[in-house]
Amino acid sequence: METKAVKEKSLEDGRAAMAACYQGFDPAAYLQYNYTPPRADFCRRDSIVPWKLGCLHRAFTEEDITGGVLVDVGSGPTLYQVLSGCEVFERLVLTDFLEVNRRELRGWLQEQGKSSLDWTPYLQHVCKLEGRGVSAWSEKAARLRAVVSDVLPIDVHCPQPLAPGALPSPGADCLVSSFCLESVSPDLDAFTRALGHIGGLLRPGGHLLLIGALGESFYLGGPGVQIPVVPLDEAQVCGSLRESGYTLIRMEVYTLPPDMRVGVDDVSGIFFVKARKD
């Protein structure tokens, strides 16, 4: 029978191995692999990125997600996941484990700042979803820069993922997390525990918007940098949410068309979850 000490050592070894995989992560390459056509083709309804942006837009405009503080858990080098939420919340906290990703985010957040990807088409698309017209994209960019208060380090494998005092004592009103937990966890148990850990950042009754990969065992984080992923199915995601103290409100699933399978991962589908903390 596995002792507590042996189990904890195994968990620590798994976390260390995952952290080592990310040492070669290249934000610019990752953005090129996943956030340019065909996966980010705004002229196609079946392109991955427009699907994700549509899910987030609907969730943030259903009027049940309210409050003052939105936290993006594991932002990576991307901003698309908060383009709808920045209109609802007055304070937005971006987070990531890697300093290279936090540096990428801070670069864009500076006025006229630099980024490895032009986010203008994303801003324009979300403005169009909101009925504002693509010309409002610069206003949305200014809004996003104005409401982001912090870009903080995070470790979802720690019971307290953020530094003490980073959030108001009741917790955040809403969490967003995209392609983070399954790609930094060595196994399903670790994924479930991480869901519970980030739940500690959320006030009771607050909402979680979770986007993740289905059936994925690896992705490329840069040239020659293959990062392992926990292969998930829909039932496992739902079970982990229940076990971690969330009530599922809605799950949507996207299946990749053949031409979206571009060799940078082996993902077969993507899930979008809207859930509420019990």
Question: Residue 7 above 90 pLDDT?
Answer: no
166-177 pLDDT, tens digit per residue, is 999 999 999 999
Lowest mean pLDDT among 17-31, 133-147, 184-198, 263-277: 17-31
Could you identify the residue written with the tokens 């906290």? 93
Amino acid at site 268: S
Question: Residue 5 above 60 pLDDT?
Answer: no
How far, in Å, CA of 219 to CA of 240, rounded? 22
Task: Pinpoint the alpha helices (H) of 48-98.
Answer: 48-60
Domain boundaries, given as residue ranges, for the chain: 4-277
Residues facing 69 on adjacent strands: 91
Helices (H) and strands (E) in the chain, counts: 8, 9
For 126, the 3-state DSSP assignment is helix
Query: Where residue 9 falls among pLDDT bands split at 50, 70, 90?
Result: low
CA distances from 190 to 83, 198, 208, 223 (A): 29, 12, 18, 27
192-242 pLDDT, tens digit per residue, is 999 999 999 999 999 999 999 999 999 999 999 999 999 999 999 999 999
Question: Residue 150 above 90 pLDDT?
Answer: yes
Q: Report the percentage of the chain scoring pLDDT > 90.
A: 89
- The first and second tokens of residue 175, run together, are 């969490």
* pLDDT at position 105: 97
Query: Where residue 18 falls among pLDDT bands split at 50, 70, 90?
Result: confident
Omega prior to 161 cis, within 30 of 0: no
Is domain 4-277 classified as CATH 3.40.50.150?
A: yes
* pLDDT at position 104: 96
Residues facing 202 on adjacent strands: 172
How far, in Å, CA of 268 to CA of 41, rounded? 18
Question: Residue 8 above 90 pLDDT?
Answer: no
Please count the other Cβ atoms lying within 10 Å of the Cβ belonging to residue 28.
14
Could you identify the residue written with the tokens 């979770």? 210
84-143 pLDDT, tens digit per residue, is 999 999 999 999 999 999 999 999 998 667 899 999 999 999 999 999 988 899 999 999
**Residue of 36, 60, 41, 61 lying closest to 51 (CA atoms):** 41
* pLDDT at position 154: 97
Q: Which helix (H) or strand (E) holds 225?
A: strand 225-228
**Residue of 240, 250, 244 lying closest to 275 (CA atoms):** 250
* pLDDT at position 13: 61
45-97 pLDDT, tens digit per residue, is 899 999 999 999 999 999 999 999 999 999 999 999 999 999 999 999 999 99
**Residue of 221, 139, 60 lying closest to 52 (CA atoms):** 60
Q: What are phi and psi of 241, to 5 degrees?
A: -65, -45
Q: Give buried/exposed letters for 159-196 (b at 16+ CB in 10 A, else e).
A: eebbeeebbeeebbbbbbbbbbbbbbbbebebbbbbbe
Question: Residue 38 above 90 pLDDT?
Answer: yes
Residues 246, 54, 180, 263, CA torsion sign: positive
Q: Report the percentage of the chain scoring pLDDT > 70.
A: 94
* pLDDT at position 4: 55
Radius of gyration of the chain (CA): 18
Contacts of 162 (CB under 8 A, 6+ apart): 95, 152, 154, 201
Question: Residue 270 above 60 pLDDT?
Answer: yes
- The first and second tokens of residue 18, run together, are 């995952």
* pLDDT at position 2: 52
